[in-house]
Structures are given as structure tokens and as C-alpha cells.
């Protein structure tokens, strides 16, 4: 085996320039993929973190049917006393849950006493909410982050459009589940940026105020937002919780609750998917580069060495040995390309991090790129390159091993 | 018992519609440890015959036995294994592997064709380097030595597996006269030392005199046999 490697490496070094070119091509491919995977992956995780930690949470539970008509924020689809008790009992038993927060969502009219505009409100228990979506307070750009009863956090759009600032008095008018209209005066606590870009019309009030404004009798909750201790555990836990919730039935023997992960609730999941898709295609390109360049070099190598192949075959080298000789050549080139590519790729990401490239996302301004190269990615990419190199050399190597010695020896 | 027995062997090449009769019913016997030459003009069938004896090709007709093996019956892999064990090859163009040193070229069959333990391998390669007078060039690559030296390395490579038979197709065609005689004398010396049968082909009437048994080929037919001394057949 050692001798096969010795012969393979010497044959590679025999055509130094060609070997160098091919290995460099693979190296460049690996560097690009590695840099892209780490930067895109870092961006994606940051984006998911922003979306989940400042707004959506990891998981949400609603009364069945709520999400389908979420645009109208239907108050008649709120969870009521019995269901709330059952759900909170289940949630309290789950050790995977870090925190959860009940919300009431409703639409209303926002007035500064001279003008009126529509607003979507989320009523929260601030203590629970901030534990569940810890980046929410950071969205408050002006005024206080502390939401007390009687206070309201208003979206930037309304603050600007209706010239309202923290400390001003405003009125919210809302229609409750029975259709009667009620109004309540609030003091603007703070102005907040939208999590999803400009144009958001979402405000936050205290849960107690919502009860009063909507004249709720007893407990009502539109949605429960859940934060897990470990985000990586999301898929497994969501399946488990879904199973538990499915057992809870209403009077019609239909499931009472519905569970959604953040992916189902945010259009940003599609962006995350796009990033994954792009990563996939870039990896596919790397595979194509490796496949074509190695195959090309190995076809040339076999063609140039036909007489040598004839010689070693004539003196009794078995076809399998000849096959491995050429496959090992492709393998070595793949290993060299992958190894150098990994090193240069890690270096490049390191330099990218050092150069402190900054970018904006949502309300987060000037985030400094700190891309990480995960060992799993390095391993995956290297293994792919090496395996593809071997596959690419198989056909030329097989051709070499099947050559008839006398014809090969006659070749000029 | 004869090492090689050829009984009315013929070889016909088919190139498209055209048939070329390279050998037309050739019969002969070659005894162990003989020093044999096939001589004849270009196109007379020497290479074809040596390829058949070397188990690189199969006769179209007739029976050919080499060291107890029926050449026609050997399938691809078995014939490769048989060649590796029984036959050494010397080529007109030397055919050393350019990436290996002189030492490694001689060692190659013991590593890649047979499995010989390191100590024994080293002993045999060193002895053959000495025998062909190439010890001081052992670490050179083939492109750093002369044609005559290359052919001496090739002789050592052919002998390193202790084959029963060494085949050399026009081994001196690319060498000058003096060097050609030296290589032939080396081959004869090796025959004397290792009792290996040497068969070489040539179209050079002067060189052929070195052989102890001379088969003359013409148009694919054996056209006379001459023997003098040695172990040649009568
Ligand atoms: N592979 C082949 N295909 C077709 N014809 C061949 C082939 N090899 C040899 N021949 C023909 O067979 C005859 C004998 O050739 P060869 O054995 O090479 O003779 P020599 O070695 O004595 O010059 C020649 O006419 C040659 O053209
Ligand atoms: Mg010839």
C-alpha cells in the first residue's frame, strides 16, 4: 500500500504544473465553499436568532384554527379558562422549556386626539414575555423599555406619522368579541422598531389593560409563545409537544390546540431555505469542479502512460493493482486540494472576521460579522472532495486496468 | 522434459476484413536453461511468437505449453499471475518506470507482482545490482543513465523473481554494437548463474551468433534450426 502511494505521488510530481493547477482549482473551490458556508450559515443563524428572540419565539400554541385566520386577529378563537389550565399544566411539565408567555392579540384604532390610524396590538405579561423573547426590549429605540399597566409601546411608523413621542397620551379604541366598542387612554412608554423591517404596525400593551379594554370575562389568551433551552432541540421537542397536545380534545372530540414552530410562522424561514439552497448549489458546483478536473487529469495521465501500463501489466501486475495505482493518484490529489483548501478557507474566514465587516439586519444596526467555520462543515466538505476525487479517477483507472498488454506496449 | 513445446501453432490477425497470417504452423521445443534466439527479417513473426510464449496472446491454432501451462487455456487474470511468477520480460525500449530509481525498478516485481519479505527482497535486489554491475548507479533515475545501463537494469528486473524463462524481444535493437554484445554476454552469464532459459529475438545476423540455438523465421514459418554447444536442443 505504501508503495502504491509512493508511485502515485511521484507520478503526480512528474507533471508538476498540471498537478499544481488541478490541486489549485480544487483548493479554490474548497476555499469558496468553506467561506460561503460559514458566512451564510452565520448570517442565517443570526437572522433566525433575531426573528425568534425578538418576536416569534421558538414555538407557538394557539386554539385550533387561529393561525389560519391570523390576519383578522379573531378574538372568538382565543383560548379560555379550562384550555389555558390544561395547556399551562402541560407546558410546566416540560423541562426542555426555558420560558413561555401568554399573549392576547387584537386590532384597534389608535388616536392622538387629532388623527386616527389602525394598529395591531399584542398584550403581554412583560416579565414572562421578556424571558421568552429576550431581544424584544432591544427593539425599543426611544423612551423606556419597561412596560407597565397603562403604558403602550408604539411602532415607529405611527410615532413618526402621527407625531407622537414617549410621555404623550393616546387613545386606543377596540371592538371586543361581542361587537361592542370600547376605548382606553394610554401613555406612550416607548417607540419600537419593527422586527421585520419598516412598515410594521405592531404595538405592545400590558395584558391587564387588554382585559379591561376588551371587557374580557375570565382568562383569555390568543397565543402562547415558547422558548426552549436549546434551539437545536426544536424539531424533536416540537414533535413531542405536538403528541401531547393532540390528546387534548374539545367537546366535538376535535383537537383543542395547534402547535407551530417559528418556521411555519415567519416568511423568514423561506430566506433561510434560500440560503440552504444556495449553499447546496455551491456545494454541487464544487463537486462538479472536482469531478471534471480530476477526471480530466486522470484521463490524460492514463493516456500518457499507456506504454508504462503495458509494461507493468506484461510483467504480471494484476489489474486490481493497476486500478488502485491510478485511483490513489486521484485520491492524493483530492486530499491535497481539500487540505490546502481547508487551511486557506479557515484563513480567509479569519481575515473576514478580522476586517470587521458590518451589516444591518432589522433593528440591529452595524452587526459585526463573526463567521465561524464548524468542524462538521470542514469534515463534510473535505470528505466530499476526496470521495468525488476517487469516483472521478475510477473510470480512467478502470480503463488502464483493462488494457491489453501487447496493444499498450505497441502504443507510440 | 522440454520447458516449451509448440505444436503447429498459427496466429492470424484480423484487421477489419483483412486477415494477416503472422505464424503458419510453427513447431519447436526449448529445453530448460537454454540460450535461444529467433531470427528473421522484420515482419517474419518474431514478436508474435514471443508474445505467445510470454502468455500475452493466444495462438489461433495449435498447442503451446510453457512451463507446464497450456497458454490457450489461461484466462486474463491467471495469465497475469502466471507471467509474474514464471516469466521475466526485457523490452526493446527498456521500459523502465521513469518515476522509480534503478534500485526500485529492480525491486518492483517483488513488491507489486510477488509478495517477498523485505530482508529477502533487499538481498535479491542487491545481489542482482552487483551481478549486472549497476550497484554504484542504484539511486539514479532511468533518465540519468545510458541505454546500455538501462538494459542491464532491465535484465536485473527480469531476473529478480527467479523466473524459469526470460523473454527479450529485440533487446539490442536500440543499442550500439559494443553495448549490444555486452548485454548479450550479461544475459548469457545470468543464464549460467541462475539456470534461467533466455529467449531473444533479433533481425541482426551478427548478434544472433551469440545464441546457442537459433530458429530462423521467415513469413511466419520456421525455416531452419541451428545448434551449437550449450544446452540447446538437437
Ligand atoms: N496486432 C496486429 N494486428 C495485425 N497485424 C499484425 C499485428 N501484429 C503483427 N501483425 C502482422 O503480423 C506479421 C508479423 O509481425 P511481427 O510478429 O511483429 O513480426 P516481427 O516482430 O518479426 O517484425 C506482420 O505482417 C505484422 O504486420
Ligand atoms: Mg518485432
Q: Residue A340: pLDDT band by 50, 70, 90 thresholds?
A: very high
Is residue B112 within 6 Å of ligand 1 at its C-beta? no
Q: What is the pLDDT of residue A362?
A: 62
Indicate whether B34 pLDDT > 90: yes
**Residue B11 alpha carbon, nearest atom of ligand 1:** 12
Grid-cell match 392576547, residue found:
A104
Measured between CA atoms, how close is B229 to chain A, in angstroms? Answer: 31
In percent, the amount of chain A with pLDDT more than 70 equals 97
Q: What is the pLDDT of residue B199?
A: 97
Indicate whether B230 pLDDT > 80: no
Pocket test for ligand 1, best of B13, B60, B222 (most atoms within 8 A of CB): B13
| Closest by Cβ to B56, choosing from A3, A321, A406 | A406
| Closest by CA position to B108, among listed A402, A304, A308 | A308
* Whether B84 and A315 lie within 8 Å, measured CB to CB: yes
Q: Residue A72: pLDDT band by 50, 70, 90 thresholds?
A: confident
Q: For B148-186, how does the pLDDT look when each residue is reduced to its tens digit (9 = 90+)?
A: 999 999 999 999 999 999 999 999 999 999 999 999 999
Q: Which of A315, A329, A403, A406 to mutate to test the interface with B (most CBs of B within 10 A)?
A: A315
Indicate whether A213 pLDDT > 80: yes
Pocket test for ligand 1, best of B18, B47, B91 (most atoms within 8 A of CB): B47
Q: Where are the domains of chain A?
A: 2-51+270-410, 65-255
Q: What is the pLDDT of residue A100?
A: 96
| Mean per-residue pLDDT, B130-141 | 95
| Closest by CA position to A4, among listed A324, A403, A353, A392 | A324
Rg (CA), chain B: 17
Is residue B169 within 6 Å of ligand 1 at its C-beta? no
- Looking at every residue in chain A, the average pLDDT score rounds to 90
- Residue of minimum CA distance from atom 26 in ligand 1: B43
Which range among A186-195, A345-354, B12-21 has the greatest average pLDDT? B12-21
Cβ-Cβ contacts under 8 Å for A255 (sequence gap 6 or more): A64, A245, A246, A248, A249
* Whether B57 and A406 lie within 8 Å, measured CB to CB: yes
A7 interface with B at CB cutoff 8 Å: yes
Which residues of A fall within a CB distance of 8 Å from B174?
A: none
| Closest by CA position to B220, among listed B22, B27, B5 | B22
Q: Which of A301, A305, A312, A314 to mutate to test the interface with B (most CBs of B within 10 A)?
A: A314
Greater confidence (B58 vs A44) lies with: B58
Task: Give chain A's end-to-end CA distance (angstroms, integer).
Answer: 30
Q: For B43-63, how does the pLDDT look when each residue is reduced to its tens digit (9 = 90+)?
A: 999 999 999 999 999 999 999
| Closest by CA position to A47, among listed A294, A385, A275 | A275
- Looking at every residue in chain B, the average pLDDT score rounds to 93
Residue A412 Cα to ligand 2 middle (Å): 14
Nearest ligand (C-alpha, residue B51): 1
CA A59 to CA A229: how far, in whole Å?
Answer: 12
**Residue A407 alpha carbon, nearest atom of ligand 1:** 1
A248 interface with B at CB cutoff 8 Å: no
Q: What is the pLDDT of residue B232?
A: 39
| Mean per-residue pLDDT, A79-94 | 92
- Residue of minimum CA distance from atom 3 in ligand 1: B13
Which residues of B fall within a CB distance of 8 Å from A307?
A: 93, 95
Indicate whether A197 pLDDT > 80: no
List C-alpha distances in Å: A235 to A88, A200, A241, A285. Answer: 21, 29, 10, 30
Indicate whether A111 pLDDT > 90: yes
Q: What is the pLDDT of residue A241?
A: 94
Greater confidence (B218 vs A248) lies with: B218
Pocket test for ligand 1, best of B9, B20, B59 (most atoms within 8 A of CB): B20
| Closest by CA position to A32, among listed A349, A307, A322, A371 | A349
Q: Residue A284: pLDDT band by 50, 70, 90 thresholds?
A: very high
In percent, the amount of chain A with pLDDT more than 90 equals 65
Is residue B20 within 6 Å of ligand 1 at its C-beta? yes
Greater confidence (B72 vs A201) lies with: B72
pTM, two decimal places: 0.82
* Whether B108 and A10 lie within 8 Å, measured CB to CB: no
| Closest by Cβ to B81, choosing from A10, A14, A316 | A316
CA B151 to CA B141: how far, in whole Å?
Answer: 13
Q: Residue A196: pLDDT band by 50, 70, 90 thresholds?
A: low
Beta bridge partners of B23: B11
- Residue of minimum CA distance from atom 6 in ligand 1: B13
Is residue B44 within 6 Å of ligand 1 at its C-beta? yes
Measured between CA atoms, how close is A6 to chain B, in angstroms? Answer: 9
The Cα angle at residue A89 between residues A87 and A93, in degrees rounded to 5: 115
For every residue of chain A, which 3-state class applies, written as one string? CHHHHHHHHHHHHHCHHHHHHHHHHHHHHHHHHHHHHHHHHHHHHHHHHHHHHHHHCCEEEEECCCHHHHHHCCHHHCEEHHHHHHHHHHHHHCCCEEEEEEEEEEEEEEECCCCEEEEEEEEECHHHHHHHCCCHHHHEEEECCCCCCCEEEEEHHHHHHCCCCCCCEEEEEEECCCCCEEEEEEEEEEEECCCCCCCCCEEEEEHHHHHHHCCCCCCEECEEEEEECCHHHHHHHHHHHHHHHHCCECCCCCECEEEEEHHHHCCHHHHHHHHHHHHHHHHHHHHHHHHHHHHHHHHHHHHHCHHHHHHHHHCCCCHHHHHHHHHHHHHHHHHHHHHHHHHHHHHHHHHHHHCCCEEEECCEEEEECCCCCCHHHHHHHHHHHHHHHHHHHHHHHHHHHCCCHHHHHHCC
Q: For A117-176, how does the pLDDT look when each residue is reduced to its tens digit (9 = 90+)?
A: 999 999 999 999 999 999 888 888 888 888 999 999 999 888 988 899 999 999 999 998
Is residue B22 within 6 Å of ligand 1 at its C-beta? yes
- Closest residue, chain A, to B97 (C-alpha): A308
* Whether A314 and B56 lie within 8 Å, measured CB to CB: yes
* Whether B83 and A315 lie within 8 Å, measured CB to CB: yes
CA A290 to CA A286: how far, in whole Å?
Answer: 6
| Closest by Cβ to B95, choosing from A311, A316, A317 | A311
* Whether B100 and A319 lie within 8 Å, measured CB to CB: no
Which residues of A fall within a CB distance of 8 Å from B93?
A: 307
Amino acid at each position: 500500500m505504501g508503495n502504491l502511494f509512493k508511485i502515485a505521488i511521484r507520478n503526480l510530481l512528474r507533471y508538476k504544473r498540471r498537478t499544481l493547477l488541478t490541486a489549485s482549482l480544487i483548493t479554490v473551490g474548497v476555499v469558496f465553499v468553506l467561506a460561503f458556508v460559514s458566512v451564510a450559515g452565520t448570517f442565517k443563524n443570526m437572522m433566525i436568532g433575531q426573528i425568534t428572540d425578538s418576536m416569534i419565539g421558538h414555538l407557538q400554541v394557539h386554539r385550533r384554527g387561529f393561525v389560519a385566520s391570523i390576519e383578522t386577529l379573531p378574538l372568538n378563537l382565543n383560548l379560555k379558562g379550562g384550555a389555558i389550565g390544561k395547556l399551562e399544566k402541560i407546558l410546566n411539565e416540560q423541562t426542555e422549556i426555558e420560558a413561555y408567555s401568554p399573549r392576547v392579540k387584537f386590532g384597534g384604532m389608535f388616536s392622538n386626539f387629532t388623527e386616527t390610524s389602525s394598529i395591531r396590538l399584542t398584550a403581554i405579561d412583560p416579565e414572562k414575555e421578556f424571558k421568552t423573547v429576550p431581544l424584544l426590549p432591544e427593539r425599543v429605540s426611544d423612551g423606556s423599555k419597561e412596560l407597565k399597566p397603562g403604558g403602550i409601546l408604539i411602532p415607529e411608523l405611527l410615532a413618526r406619522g402621527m407625531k407622537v413621542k414617549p410621555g404623550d397620551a393616546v387613545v386606543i379604541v377596540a371592538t371586543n368579541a361581542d361587537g361592542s366598542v370600547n376605548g382606553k387612554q394610554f401613555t406612550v412608554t416607548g417607540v419600537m422598531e419593527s422586527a421585520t423591517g419598516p412598515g410594521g404596525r405592531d404595538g405592545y400593551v400590558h395584558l391587564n389593560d387588554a382585559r379591561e379594554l376588551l371587557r374580557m370575562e375570565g382568562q383569555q389568551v390568543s397565543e402562547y409563545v415558547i422558548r426552549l433551552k436549546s434551539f437545536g432541540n426544536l424539531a424533536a421537542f416540537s414533535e413531542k409537544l405536538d403528541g401531547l397536545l393532540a390528546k387534548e380534545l374539545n367537546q366535538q372530540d376535535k383537537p383543542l390546540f395547534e402547535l407551530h414552530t417559528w418556521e411555519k410562522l415567519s416568511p423568514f424561514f423561506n430566506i433561510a431555505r434560500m440560503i440552504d439552497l444556495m449553499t447546496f448549489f455551491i456545494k454541487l458546483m464544487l463537486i462538479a469542479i472536482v469531478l471534471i478536473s480530476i477526471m480530466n487529469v486522470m484521463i490524460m495521465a492514463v493516456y500518457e502512460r499507456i506504454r508504462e501500463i503495458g509494461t507493468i501489466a506484461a510483467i504480471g501486475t494484476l489489474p486490481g493493482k493497476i486500478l488502485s495505482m491510478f485511483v490513489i493518484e486521484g485520491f492524493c490529489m483530492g486530499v491535497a486540494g481539500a487540505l490546502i483548501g481547508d487551511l486557506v478557507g479557515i484563513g480567509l474566514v479569519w481575515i473576514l472576521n478580522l476586517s470587521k465587516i458590518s451589516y444591518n439586519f432589522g433593528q440591529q444596526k452595524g452587526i459585526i460579522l463573526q463567521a465561524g467555520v464548524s468542524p462538521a462543515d470542514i469534515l463534510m466538505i473535505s470528505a466530499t472532495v476526496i470521495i468525488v476525487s476517487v469516483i472521478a479517477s475510477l473510470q480512467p483507472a478502470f480503463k488502464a486496468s483493462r488494457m491489453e498488454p501487447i496493444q499498450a506496449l505497441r502504443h507510440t | 522434459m522440454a520447458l516449451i513445446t509448440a505444436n503447429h501453432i498459427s496466429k492470424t490477425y484480423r484487421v477489419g476484413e483483412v486477415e494477416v497470417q503472422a505464424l503458419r504452423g510453427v513447431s519447436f521445443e526449448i529445453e530448460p536453461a537454454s540460450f535461444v534466439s529467433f531470427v528473421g527479417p522484420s515482419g517474419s513473426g518474431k514478436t508474435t511468437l514471443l508474445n505467445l510464449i510470454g502468455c500475452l496472446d493466444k495462438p489461433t491454432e495449435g498447442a503451446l505449453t510453457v512451463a507446464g501451462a497450456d497458454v490457450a487455456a489461461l484466462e486474463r487474470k491467471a495469465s497475469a499471475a502466471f507471467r509474474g511468477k514464471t516469466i521475466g520480460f526485457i523490452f526493446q525500449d527498456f521500459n523502465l518506470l521513469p518515476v522509480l530509481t534503478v534500485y526500485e525498478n529492480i525491486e518492483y516485481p517483488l513488491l507489486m507482482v510477488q509478495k517477498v519479505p523485505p530482508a529477502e527482497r533487499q538481498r535479491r535486489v542487491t545481489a542482482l545490482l552487483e551481478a549486472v554491475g549497476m550497484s554504484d548507479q542504484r539511486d539514479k533515475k532511468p533518465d540519468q543513465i545510458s541505454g546500455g545501463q538501462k538494459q542491464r537494469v532491465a535484465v536485473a528486473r527480469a531476473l529478480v523473481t527467479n523466473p524459469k524463462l526470460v523473454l527479450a524481444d529485440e533487446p539490442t535493437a536500440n543499442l550500439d554494437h559494443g553495448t549490444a554484445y555486452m548485454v548479450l554476454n550479461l544475459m548469457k552469464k545470468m543464464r549460467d548463474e541462475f539456470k534461467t532459459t533466455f529467449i531473444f529475438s533479433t533481425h541482426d545476423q551478427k548478434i544472433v551468433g551469440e545464441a546457442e540455438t537459433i530458429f530462423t523465421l521467415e513469413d511466419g514459418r520456421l525455416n531452419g534450426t541451428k545448434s551449437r554447444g550449450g544446452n540447446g536442443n538437437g
